[in-house]
Structure 1
Amino acid sequence: MKRFLFVTLLAFSAVFSVSASIEVYEFDSPQQEEMFQKLGKELRCPKCQNNNIADSNAGLAQDLRMKVYEMLKQGKSEDEIVDYMVARYGNFVTYNPPLTASTLILWVGPALFVVVGFTILVMRSRKPKVKAEKQTLNSEEQARLDALLEEQSDQNNKEIKG
């Protein structure tokens, strides 16, 4: 029974290890391989969103890596490959989107946020401090205050003694 269980587990482990494949690409020159590695890190996986196509295991990322490889083998330049990917998947596919009307907030937003925050900070620090005017009590108000304070003092003394 133990041998049967061992053989079964061994067979299942062999099946599962075969399913994980490693992509191997052959290049004509070291420059092509270098450009492939560079593009793999510069292009974002549209499905994963936070991974580049070199690090992603998604099926779409595998397809994009294969397309980059095919285009490199056809002699396409880096700009042509990036332009193809942008035309197909939009500016989102690059980590460094171009400055256009739709991406303007991405480029100007952080600087605008810092400038507005600094301006608010400066305006608040320069605001004159409002000082409370010292009010004086007339004789009637002063006498009433003294009576209230004396009454409170008497109550406190009674509580302490009793």
Structure 2
Amino acid sequence: MYIGLKHAHSGLAYLALAALLIVMIYALIGALSNREFTEKDRKFAMIAFILSHIQLLVGLILYFVSPVGFSLLTGGGAMGDKIARLTALEHPVINIIAIVLISVGYIRAKKLTESRAKFRSIYMMYGIGLVLILSRIPWHSWLG
């Protein structure tokens, strides 16, 4: 189960990151061109929203079943080791914050009335969320 979840978390990351980047750029173009925010735009944003939430859910499950997730915090030495701290604390906490920001951007865009404001809410919050996610990816284990 652990190996399957690990592969799902790594593979889904590519989809979620690509979707966030595409939607962010798409919303930025929509805002700059003063285009009308349509149902299609909302659905594009929703795809990235859903993928990022699925990624979070798989990551949280993985965190508690993994031998290098939550168990590192109970061992006592995680804060002194840079990689252990990233895995046990920084990666999950920062990514939860990123998903909250993405959620705020999507929910706020649904409530706004002006098209430009809707696009701006999406590209700004998705962009901040994307930067946070990229800052805490454990590149040493993801690419290696």
**Band of TM-score, shorter chain:** under 0.3
Structure 1 or 2: larger helix share?
2
Under a length normalisation based on structure 2, what TM-score does the superposition of the two structures give? 0.22
Bigger Rg, which one: 1
